[in-house]
Amino acid sequence: MGERGRVRQCGHPFLSQRSSIRPTDQLTNDYSNSYVWNDRKQFGQLVGAFQGMQHQMAQAYTEISAARALVYNAARKKEAGEDFVRDAAMAKLYASQVAGRVSGSAIEWMGGMGFVREGIAEKMWRDSKIGAIYEGTSNIQLQTIAKLLQKEYTK
C-alpha cells in the first residue's frame, strides 16, 4: 500500500484530513508552474524564465515536500504504535500553512488568470483555508504542540 493509503487508514482526524487536502497543494503548484513556464509572458519572455520566479517555485516545491514528509512520519509513528499526537499536530499545522502560502503564491504567479473565480488557483486558495480550520484551528495545533513539549521538558 502506498504512503497516502496508509495515512488515510490511520484513522486519526489530523492525518486523514490533512492527507486528503495535500494533493490540492501539489495540484496548485503543478498547474501554476506549468502556466508560468509555458504561457504567461512579461517583458517579452516567459515569467518562469526569471530567476526570482524560479526561486519562489523551488521554495514552494520544497515546502510541499517537507509537509508531505511530516504527514508521512506521523502516519508511520501511528502505524508503529508510537506516540504520534505531537507529530500529527505539527503535520497539520505546517501542511495547512504551506497550502495557504503555495495557493496564494500561485494566484500571484498567474496574474489575472490566478484570480478568476473559474480558475483552479483561486479555488485551491479558498480550499486551503479549510486546512487551517477543520479538525482544529492552527492555534489549537500550536497549543497541542506546546503542551506536549512542556510535558516532555518539565522536570
**pLDDT at 60 (0 to 100):** 92
Give CA 68 to chain center in angstroms. Answer: 8
The C-alpha atoms of residue 127 and residue 55 are separated, in whole angstroms, by: 25
**pLDDT at 11 (0 to 100):** 52
* Structural domains present in the chain: 13-153 (1.20.140.10)
Point out the catalytic residue in the list 79, 82, 122, 135: 135
- Three-state secondary structure call for residue 42: strand
The reply to whether the predicted model has a pTM over 0.75 is yes
**pLDDT at 24 (0 to 100):** 58
∠141-142-143 over CA atoms, to 5°?
90
**pLDDT at 23 (0 to 100):** 57
**pLDDT at 4 (0 to 100):** 47
Local confidence pLDDT in tens for the 155 residues of the chain: 444 444 444 455 555 544 444 555 677 778 888 889 999 999 999 999 999 999 999 999 999 999 999 999 999 999 999 999 999 999 999 988 998 899 899 999 888 887 787 778 888 888 888 767 776 788 999 999 999 999 999 98
CA dihedral over 102, 30, 112, 119, signed as positive or negative:
negative
Active site annotation includes 108? no
The C-alpha atoms of residue 10 and residue 13 are separated, in whole angstroms, by: 9
Give CA 8 to chain center in angstroms. Answer: 16
**pLDDT at 47 (0 to 100):** 93
